């Protein structure tokens, strides 16, 4: 179809009451998947394809389609493989779902400021805690999610505050946990541990819940040996320390298989054990 024929078709559609727009603006599609949960690097050159959209829909700010991975944003309708349409260079507001760079990697979460003025990255899945943004973190909001095949790209303030309050309550609960209660939970989770290195997932959950000092691998391993001396797979401090790399050095909600020291079924086992221990801790 040449330009003259195209103009005629557009004219006929307009006369018929159909508002037609010419898709003449390319929007890139990234190869790199960003986690709705864990954290990963986003390559700025990984362009797989382009989607043509009308200029009036794209506007003056650059945009990109980014595939989603993970389940921490299921409440917003983001599921594994969804194409998130991200607009760069716009100011993010409370309640916006944002593509954000945190300490060397990217993730998608909901931005929110609580009543104390603290900024958070809030998941929309009750399995995960909110991530508090502190001054010592390298945080850059890259863009705002403005579209997805699913609806509801924003969350209500009530939902976000509920998640933040739940996170704060978890912290207060952790402070009330006695050593005996934690030991009983270690015995309980010990039934899930089938390999010595899997104790790292338990260590990480305890650190996140503030019942274990970070980087005290020897103290953690000693505690496991005292509580479960007959366990078939007892941890070694050097092995536990070696696991805290890549995404495993981040909070559990930011773990991602593509950037972890374990993959496949092994990664899923670590993730399951960590979430299970967090669940045990939160119920006490």
- SS3 helix, strand, coil % of the chain, rounded to 5? 40, 20, 40
Angle between helices 217-227 and 179-190 (to 10 degrees): 80
Same domain, yes or no, for 196 and 164? no
Asked whether residue 7 is assigned to any structural domain, the reply reads: no
Annotation says 168 is catalytic: no
Q: Are residues 162 and 256 in the same domain?
A: no
The last residue of one of the domains, among 138, 168, 198, is 168
Give the lowest-confidence range in 35-49, 101-115, 176-190, 221-235. Answer: 35-49
DSSP category for residue 246: G
Strand, helix or coil for residue 130: coil
Do 70 and 202 share a structural domain? no
Q: Residue 68's pLDDT is what?
A: 81
CB of 87 closer than 8 Å to CB of 144? yes
Based on the fold, state whether residues 138 and 80 are members of the same structural domain. yes
pLDDT in tens, 44-70: 444 444 444 445 445 566 777 777 878
CB 157 within 8 A of CB 94: yes
- The pTM score is 0.48
pLDDT of 186 > 90? The answer is yes
Last residue of a domain, one of 150, 168, 186: 168
Domain carrying residue 226? 177-283
Are the CB atoms for 281 and 211 separated by under 8 Å? yes
Q: Is residue 201 part of a domain?
A: yes
Residue pair 76/96 in contact by the 8 Å Cβ criterion: no
- The owner of tokens 């300490």 is 103
Question: One of 72, 204, 250, 253 is an active-site residue; which one?
Answer: 72
Contact, 199 vs 193, CB < 8 A? yes
Tally of domains in the chain: 2
Torsion sign over Cα 249, 253, 254, 257: positive
Q: Are 270 and 227 part of one and the same domain? A: yes
Q: Same domain for 190 and 111?
A: no
Does 11 reside within a domain? no
State the catalytic residue, choosing from 30, 56, 109, 263.
109
Is there a single domain that holds both residue 141 and residue 67? yes
Question: Is residue 238 annotated as a catalytic residue, yes or no?
Answer: no
Q: Does residue 2 fall inside a structural domain?
A: no
Domain shared by 181 and 130, yes or no: no
Q: Please indicate whether residue 60 or residue 129 has the higher confidence score (pLDDT).
A: 129
Within a domain: 106: yes
- pLDDT for the residue 174: 63
Q: Count CA within 13 A, CB hemisphere, residue 216.
A: 12
Q: Strand 25-30 and strand 34-35: pairing?
A: unpaired
């Amino acid at each position: 179809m040449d330009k003259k024929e195209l103009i005629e078709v557009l004219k006929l559609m307009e006369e018929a009451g159909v508002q037609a727009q010419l898709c003449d603006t390319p929007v890139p599609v990234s190869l790199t998947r960003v986690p709705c949960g864990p954290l990963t690097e986003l390559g700025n050159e990984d362009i797989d394809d382009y989607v043509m959209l009308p200029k009036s829909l794209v506007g003056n700010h650059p945009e990109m389609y980014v595939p989603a991975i993970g389940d921490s944003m299921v409440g917003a309708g983001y599921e594994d493989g969804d194409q998130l349409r991200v607009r760069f260079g716009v100011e993010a507001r409370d309640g916006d779902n944002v593509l954000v760079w945190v300490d060397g990697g990217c993730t998608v979460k909901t931005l929110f400021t609580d009543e104390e003025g603290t900024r958070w990255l809030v998941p929309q899945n009750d399995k995960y805690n909110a991530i508090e943004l502190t001054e010592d973190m390298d945080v850059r909001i890259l863009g705002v999610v403005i579209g997805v095949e699913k609806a509801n790209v924003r969350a209500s303030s009530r939902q976000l505050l509920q998640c933040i309050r739940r996170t704060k309550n978890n912290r207060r609960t952790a402070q009330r946990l006695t050593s005996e209660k934690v030991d009983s939970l270690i015995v309980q989770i010990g039934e899930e541990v089938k390999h010595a290195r899997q104790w790292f997932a338990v260590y990480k959950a305890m650190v996140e819940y503030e019942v274990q000092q970070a980087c005290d691998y020897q103290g953690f391993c000693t505690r496991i040996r005292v509580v479960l001396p007959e366990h078939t797979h007892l941890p070694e401090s050097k092995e536990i320390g070696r696991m805290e790399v890549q995404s495993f050095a981040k909070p559990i909600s930011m773990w991602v298989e593509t950037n972890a020291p374990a993959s496949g079924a092994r990664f899923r086992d670590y993730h399951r054990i960590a979430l299970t221990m967090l669940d045990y801790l939160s119920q006490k």
